[in-house]
Amino acid sequence: MFPIAIIHFRSLSFQYEGSTQPLFSNLNLELDSAWRLGFIARNGRGKTTLLRLLSGALPYQGKIVSPLGFAYFPYAVKDETLPALEVAREAIAPFRALEATMASAQNDPARLNEYAEALESYTRADGFAIDAMIKAEAGKLDLAQQILERPFSSLSHGERTKLLLAALFLRHDSLLLIDEPTNHLDLEGRAALARYLRGKNGFILVSHDRSLLDSTIDHVLSINRDGSFSIEQGNYSSWQRNKDLQDAFELAQNEGLKKQISALNESAREKAGWSEKIERGKIGSHTADRGYVGHKAAKMMKRSKAIERRIERAADEKSRLLQRVEEGGDLKLSPLAHPARRLILAQDLSIDYGSGPLFAPLSFELMQGESLCLKGRNGSGKSSLVKLILGEKIPHAGTLTLASGLALSIAQQDASGLSGPLPRFVQEQGIDQSLFFTILRKLGFERAQFETSLSGFSQGQKKKCLLAASLCKPAHLYIWDEPLNYVDLPSRLQIERLLLDFRPTLLFIEHDAVFAGQIATKTILLG
């Protein structure tokens, strides 16, 4: 375990090249390395960027002062054909640093010798060789030891996530920065990860999984709408309760501020009217009195202008106070009614790619107004079943019948390939641009982002574009494959409210246990 330390951010500023405004400006912050810290914010506010600044991947202004190093997950594997155990070795700090150290110290035998001694000491710590340490740590995440001998590329995404997290936690000189670890984990994998993290002290976790945050973290770092940072002790639920109370208080204050601003603006217009009247009075005065009248008019003009400026400053200050509260707004949906009550019927359905059926023969029906959640381990056939419903040629036995003339609205799982301007995406999707932009605004997008390329969006922002496109399409049936991957917590709550309010017919795959429990009216467990 690394020594406890305080991490200082001093006047930290960062702005992406080509951006019109900084992402962080003059940030001063202190974090305790012993905290199990959950990092929460809207997509695009800078969570991943801050982790990358800590890991040294981006240049910045100001200072980050820490006696510890930082290890970032997801870890970039250089050669996925290597055995998984060897990849894990390279992910551990001394092994990964050896190549860089030797390159920088070719002519310094003393430094190389010192490093070799430190490496030997590290690998023999507590009497364990490094391979034994990796196997023991991987076992805590329910990873079978035999997979360590397989090529890393043959591991499932969930197995890769677990192995690399286990290896990175063996870096005893580094604080682990964990960015969205659950995106490729099924429910059992998420439960194993939660148990594992509860046994650790000291990490920063970016996640939108409420169950994981509630069961693992003891402090919350959040980025507010106005760009300020807040830290409080507790887990996600306690933070959300406090935030709801604070938002309610600030919204009530905002209503009063808006009335004050309106009154101040009206007063400013009135004072501006005085100035105009005084100016006209100078012109209409008699010649004998013009000097005197002009002097008095100038004094009145100066006084009224000063009052006008004070009022405008007061209105501006009160306007700035309105910037903190998140005001996403409620989403809307236009589900279509179908003549048939039953939209999907499956009878003795199974999928087999040639090595045996992915799941036992399955019979189910999906009626209008129902929300069907497909659950199961990674590889149990959930996405294959969705593809079959969507008309792809998937080898199967049994029958699958869809109601005739069924209008579908789909949100695919993978958003990574999205690129190009938003208007082109809108055109390709065949949706209403005004409605699409309105939905994105409610999901936390700034208007300026509508002029930028999708390739510059975060993964969460890309996923929101797919969801917004689906919401723009009136449909009898909505099919969403892991719609919440990378999507921030406030947006998840908005989508939950939408589905509960409008109750569209929905078939979905989602590993967020809280979301699935709120939305699903029926569940199928595959595998």
- Over the stretch 325-342, which tens digit does the pLDDT of each residue have? 555 678 999 899 999 999
Confidence of residue 63 (pLDDT cuts 50, 70, 90): very high
- For residue 340, the model assigns a pLDDT of 96
Report yes or no: 378 and 366 within 8 Å, Cβ to Cβ. no
Residue 103 has pLDDT above 50, yes or no: no
249 or 475, which is more confident? 475
Q: Is 73 left (phi over 0), alpha (psi -120 to 50) or beta?
A: beta
Percent above pLDDT 70 for the chain = 80
Cβ-defined contacts of 224-230 (< 8 Å, 24+): 224/324, 225/42, 225/323, 225/324, 225/325, 225/326, 226/323, 226/324, 227/24, 227/25, 227/45, 228/324, 229/27, 229/29
Q: Which of 203-212, 329-338, 470-479 has the lowest mean pLDDT?
A: 329-338
Residue 174 binned pLDDT confidence (cut-offs 50, 70, 90)? confident
Of the segments 17-21, 147-151, 367-371, 490-494, which one has the largest average pLDDT value? 367-371
**320: nearest Cα among 250, 405, 376:** 250
* 158 vs 99, residue with greater confidence: 158
Residue 186 pLDDT > 90: no
Q: What is the pLDDT of residue 370?
A: 97
**pLDDT at position 292, please?**
54
| Mean pLDDT (the chain, rounded) | 85
Between residues 320 and 79, which one has the greater pLDDT? 79
What would the mean pLDDT of 499-506 be, rounded to a whole number? 96
Instruction: Give the pLDDT band (50/70/90) at residue 414.
Output: confident
Asked if 368 contacts 343 with a C-beta cutoff of 8 angstroms, the reply is yes
In the predicted model, what is the mean pLDDT of residues 462-476? 96
Q: By the 8 A CB rule, do 478 and 409 touch?
A: yes
Say if CB 5 and CB 68 are below 8 A apart.
yes
Lowest-confidence segment of 20-24, 229-233, 392-396 by average pLDDT: 20-24
pLDDT for the residue 285: 53
Q: Which two tokens stand for residue 518?
A: 């709120």
pTM reported for the whole predicted model: 0.74
Tell me how far apart the alpha carbons of residues 209 and 515 are, in angstroms, rounded to a whole number. Answer: 9
Please give the pLDDT value at position 471: 96
What is the pLDDT at residue 234?
Answer: 96
* Most confident of the ranges 222-226, 404-408, 487-491: 404-408
pLDDT band at 506 (very low <50, low <70, confident <90, very high): very high
Percent of the chain topping pLDDT 90: 59
Lowest-confidence pick of 36-40, 153-157, 164-168, 189-193: 153-157
How sure is the predictor about 321, in pLDDT bands with cuts at 50, 70 and 90?
low
Mean pLDDT of 182-188: 84
In the predicted model, is pLDDT for residue 111 greater than 60?
Answer: no
Of the candidates 495, 524, 402, 521, the one whose C-alpha atom is nearest the C-alpha of residue 208 is 495
Of 129-138, 183-192, 422-431, give the range with the top mean pLDDT.
422-431
pLDDT of residue 114: 60
Q: What pLDDT digit, counting tens, does each position of 233-280 carry?
A: 999 999 999 988 888 887 777 677 677 767 766 766 666 665 566 556
pLDDT at 119: 55
Per-residue pLDDT band for 226 (boundaries 50, 70, 90) equals confident
Evaluate whether 468 touches 481 at the Cβ level (below 8 Å): no
* pLDDT of 196 higher than 80: yes
Q: What is the mean pLDDT of residues 2-29?
A: 88
- What's the CA gap between 342 and 281, in Å, rounded? 80
pLDDT band at 98 (very low <50, low <70, confident <90, very high): very low
Confidence band of 369 (pLDDT split at 50, 70, 90): very high
- pLDDT at position 241 is 93
Least confident of 127-141, 184-198, 268-282, 394-408: 268-282
Confidence category of residue 452, pLDDT binned at 50, 70, 90: confident
Nearest residue to 118 (alpha-carbon basis) of 136, 95, 146, 140: 95
Token match 């217009």: residue? 269
Least confident of 50-59, 245-254, 364-373, 508-517: 245-254
| pLDDT tier for residue 302 given thresholds of 50, 70 and 90 | low
The mean per-residue pLDDT over the stretch 30-40 comes to 96
Which of residues 138 and 379 earns the better pLDDT score?
138
- Alpha-carbon span 490 to 326, nearest angstrom: 9
Least confidently predicted of 48-62, 255-269, 327-341, 500-514: 255-269
- pLDDT confidence tier of residue 108, bands split at 50, 70 and 90: low
